[in-house]
Structure 1
Amino acid sequence: MFPLPVALGAAILLSTTNALELDITQPDSIRDAASNIAYGMMSWYTGNNTGDVPGNLPDPYYWWHAGAMFMSMVDYWYYTGDNSYVDVTKQAMIHQAGDTWDFMPENQTKTEGNDDQLFWALSAMSAAEVRFPNPDSNQASWVAQVQNVFDLQTSRWDDTCGGGLRWQIFTWNKGYNYKNTISNGGLFQISARLARYTGDAQYVEWAAKVWDWSTGVLFQNETDTTIVLNDGATTESGCTRSDPTQWTYIYGVFIAGTAYMYNHTRDQIWLTRTTKLLNTVEATFFINAANGVTGKVMSETACEPSGNCDIDQQSFKAYLTRWMVLTAQMVPSLEARIWGLLRPSAQGAALQCSGGGEGPRNAPDACGRRWDQATYDGTSGLCEQMAALQAVSAMMLGGADGGLDGVNLLPPASVAAGGGGTSKPKEDGGGGKTSGKTLPLVYTEDITAGDKAGAAILTILLVSGTLSVGWWML
């Protein structure tokens, strides 16, 4: 549908001065470029230093950024076969899974939100699907960890606004009265992926339940050809007041879920929904490049052109990229179209990797944010590295029509129908409810004076209305 233009093979060598060299048709070139970007990203990580906490990032980054970063490292291993970061990735993910193997570690439980927990769960789901080295036999498997998160999150589904997950788990945290798209989309995606991986019908039922609820609350508009999403809605308004800001990752989290549902059920309605979401993604987030790359490139259009992306928004393209790749794997009829979008984006990302030292270790090849620009935009950070890493390393799978010579990456695994999965599900299969009242879990941790003070300050800010639309972010 969208064949690779002949000129694109080595065209990235038209790059800006000192830009990262990338030929998206050559495996060694992709591996080398991805390795440089991965090193730059991991230069920000200090959790493997003596006295630091495995899985944590230093300021200004948050716990969920770490979960997303290690999802990228799992993907990097899958794409390239580079084992350099396997041990540190396993250490971080297992440590942050906590004693109950559900990504509710003691150092985060008072502040983490549903979406934060989901990013770690999605990392574990990827680990299960790509056959990442398993935890030890006395530890919960990757997929069992995801099932534990599913059980927790479905127990938090409440009747306010007719259903849905709240952004926050605890009442004292900012955003408790907001039902956001990324949290509900994350639950939808892990339900769909667990359905395919395990073959258990309860996950199909929950994916359908989350989707059906979302159509009435989180969908701004649906036509015969498109679906437009909101960022979320406030419970105080009965979920009638929503934030219409368009972000890449909220589309990514849903499109991968619909793709998995189509792959697993073969129901045409899920193919239709996947196609509608892809239509909106292409129209909203892919723009003409000014850097010599042929084709449109991905842009965080709500903030990149104005230069005001915050630290969360700087990473969002990483997730849309990864979840579009999964969509291509799950829906072969959309594969050529998706790679036709992602190839120019990878080239644009590589052109931006021409900055100086990156992170505490002063790693070279810092990557900028504007994949549509001809010269390095001067930005850098873990989030920019992560977005570029996802874009570039994915070319191992889709850099050329028909695949790359000598590269044979296995599709996402499952344990259902001989799918080759090595991560074993829980024996009890989990316990998500699809009907009846589902109350949020009650945690018995002590609330400190600091917690109460923070909640009081937040209440004052909310009442005074000083928080902008950007407040509704992670």
Structure 2
Amino acid sequence: MFGSLIDYWYYTGDSTYNEVVSEALLFQTGSENDFMPPNQTKSEGNDDQAFWGMAAMSAAEVKFPNPPDDQPQWLALAQAVFNSQAARWDNTSCAGGLKWQIFTFNTGYNYKNSISNGAFFNMASRLGYYTQNQTYFEWADRMWDWVEGVGLMSTSYAVFDGTDDTLNCTQQNHIQWTYNAGVYLLGASVMWNQTNGTTQALWETRIRGIITASNVFFQNNVMYEVACEPQGNCDTDQQSFKAYLSRWMAASTKVAPFVSDLVKSYLQTSAQAAAKSCSGGSDGVTCGTKWTAQAWDSTYGVGQQMNALEVIQGLLIDQVSGPVSNTTGGISVGNPSAGTGGDTNPGAPTGQITTGDKAGAGILTAVILVALLGGAWYVDVDTEDFLD
């Protein structure tokens, strides 16, 4: 959610919500400044922690106002999440990868899912881009190879939900979610940007493959959550997944320009449909779940607001600059050993790639804050203005 509000500032320049966004992010950092706060640590998974880390990474990339000097900085927070997760690389089953859950007592501990591993891949590629530390890129390559090798991504680039490590990851759960495709798409686009020759050509093949496989998430170019929308049984988290695919499709165009022609029609048509869905409730601007309905479907929630916000504001992507790095104007201070307790942990990107453990925080934690956006700002906009 806070990533959506960072994007809102990035696209519009409206700083109205910046203070509350910064306060909310910093409140969840925890004593080790790695987004493992006491109020959430025992119940969260690698994916939860990673969403906070990716929000911090976005803040660094778009030069979101820095926290006070006595507070952890955006880049260092993202590095802390990465380091704590690199230390959890699990060679005890499936020849590697990250488990969904961190603690043995949580349901899903024996599940290695695509979003946890994809978010790590996403962070690794973006940290490599920002810092030019090659070890991040090595981790990104390692993770991609593992995901493909274990069958979480098909030969046609469909991304499946996860796999049971008690079966040594020999069977996959073939459910597909929008955000899984998106998280790998942006990471792959960053890797394309940072490579050349045959390696870059390989990343382009992968990018095109993910986008082609993502056709399953569109009806007449309108995005929908194929695994739950038709049955009307999307849970709270799943209600927000379209926001992430929308965000990462748009963001990918800034680092891999050829992506623009491949996703533009998806985003434009989806944005128009999303705007039509934001016509419900007593305020007349409440957003629904099913954009394919071309009208409000009588559902509402934080996820629905996020989805519409991201796909519509993403149409402004050509009006903003791309992500910065340490050498192209970045202003966020990093710490390569963040998240390691100050020691040179094997997981810290200082050379060799190895293992260890720690914990995370939730995707939709402070849901009340999204009401600040309401939904009204974009529903009043003539969508056609963005489609030229």
TM-score (norm 1): 0.71
Q: 1:380 aligns with which of 300, 320, 324?
A: 300
Match for residue 161 of structure 1? Answer: 94
Distance 1:97 1:202, change over 3 A: same
RMSD of the alignment, in Å? Answer: 1.8
CA displacement, residues 388-427 of structure 1 (integer Å, 9 cap, x when unaligned): 0001111222xxxxx5xxxx41211111xx3111112216
Match for residue 258 of structure 2? Answer: 333
1:205–1:434 Cα contact (<8 Å) kept: no
1:192–1:260 Cα contact (<8 Å) kept: yes
Q: 1:439 aligns with which of 356, 361, 364?
A: 356
Deviation at 1:438, TM superposition (A): 1.8
Q: 1:389 aligns with which of 268, 287, 309?
A: 309
Deviation at 1:130, TM superposition (A): 0.8
The whole-number CA distance in structure 2 between the counterparts of 1:265 and 1:395 is 27
Deviation at 1:139, TM superposition (A): 1.6
1:167–1:180 Cα contact (<8 Å) kept: yes
Distance 1:70 1:220, change over 3 A: closer
2:186–2:249 Cα contact (<8 Å) kept: yes
Query: Equivalent residues in 2 for 1:248-259 (5 A)?
Result: 248-259=178-189
CA displacement, residues 330-388 of structure 1 (integer Å, 9 cap, x when unaligned): 1111212212210111110000001114xxxxx65110111111331111111000000
The whole-number CA distance in structure 1 between the counterparts of 2:223 and 2:146 is 29
Match for residue 446 of structure 1? Answer: none
Distance 1:436 1:370, change over 3 A: closer
The reply to whether residue 204 of structure 1 matches residue 113 of structure 2 is no
The reply to whether residue 314 of structure 1 matches residue 227 of structure 2 is no
Q: 2:6 aligns with which of 74, 77, 80?
A: 74
Match for residue 411 of structure 1? Answer: 322
The whole-number CA distance in structure 1 between the counterparts of 2:187 and 2:239 is 23
- Give the aligned residue type for 2:48: D
Deviation at 1:221, TM superposition (A): 2.2
Q: Secondary structure at the match of 1:368?
A: coil
Q: 1:272 aligns with which of 199, 205, 214?
A: 205
The whole-number CA distance in structure 1 between the counterparts of 2:104 and 2:39 is 18
1:298–1:345 Cα contact (<8 Å) kept: yes
CA displacement, residues 49-105 of structure 1 (integer Å, 9 cap, x when unaligned): xxxxxxxxxxxxxxxxxxxx1010000110111111000000000110122110001
Deviation at 1:434, TM superposition (A): 7.7
CA displacement, residues 233-286 of structure 1 (integer Å, 9 cap, x when unaligned): 0011111122100110111111111001111223221111111101101x2111
2:110–2:165 Cα contact (<8 Å) kept: yes
Match for residue 224 of structure 2? Answer: 299
The reply to whether residue 184 of structure 1 matches residue 104 of structure 2 is no
Q: 2:269 aligns with which of 344, 347, 361?
A: 344
Deviation at 1:312, TM superposition (A): 1.5
Range moving further from structure 2, 95-104 or 423-432: 423-432
Match for residue 386 of structure 2? Answer: none
The whole-number CA distance in structure 2 between the counterparts of 1:428 and 1:176 is 27
Deviation at 1:219, TM superposition (A): 3.0
Match for residue 194 of structure 1? Answer: 127
The whole-number CA distance in structure 2 between the counterparts of 1:259 and 1:394 is 17
2:278–2:295 Cα contact (<8 Å) kept: no
Match for residue 246 of structure 1? Answer: 176
The reply to whether residue 140 of structure 1 matches residue 72 of structure 2 is yes
Deviation at 1:229, TM superposition (A): 1.8
User: What is the identity percentage for the equivalent residue pairs of Structure 1 and Structure 2?
Assistant: 45
Q: 1:116 aligns with which of 35, 48, 62?
A: 48
The whole-number CA distance in structure 2 between the counterparts of 1:436 and 1:276 is 28
2:54–2:78 Cα contact (<8 Å) kept: yes
1:101–1:140 Cα contact (<8 Å) kept: yes
Structure 1 runs not aligned, ≥5 long: 1-68, 289-295, 358-362, 398-402, 444-474
- Give the aligned residue type for 2:332: S
The reply to whether residue 229 of structure 1 matches residue 159 of structure 2 is yes
The whole-number CA distance in structure 1 between the counterparts of 2:314 and 2:359 is 41
Deviation at 1:311, TM superposition (A): 1.4
2:80–2:337 Cα contact (<8 Å) kept: no
Match for residue 426 of structure 1? Answer: 335
2:211–2:262 Cα contact (<8 Å) kept: no
Deviation at 1:220, TM superposition (A): 4.7
Deviation at 1:435, TM superposition (A): 5.9
Match for residue 60 of structure 2? Answer: 128
Distance 1:373 1:441, change over 3 A: closer
Deviation at 1:428, TM superposition (A): 5.2
The whole-number CA distance in structure 2 between the counterparts of 1:104 and 1:117 is 7
1:218–1:231 Cα contact (<8 Å) kept: no
The whole-number CA distance in structure 2 between the counterparts of 1:249 and 1:354 is 25
Q: Secondary structure at the match of 1:265?
A: coil
- Which of structures 1 and 2 has the bigger CA Rg? 1
1:154–1:433 Cα contact (<8 Å) kept: no
- Give the aligned residue type for 2:175: T
2:177–2:225 Cα contact (<8 Å) kept: yes
Deviation at 1:433, TM superposition (A): 8.0
The whole-number CA distance in structure 2 between the counterparts of 1:356 and 1:287 is 25
- How many residues are treated as equivalent by the alignment? 348
2:267–2:311 Cα contact (<8 Å) kept: yes
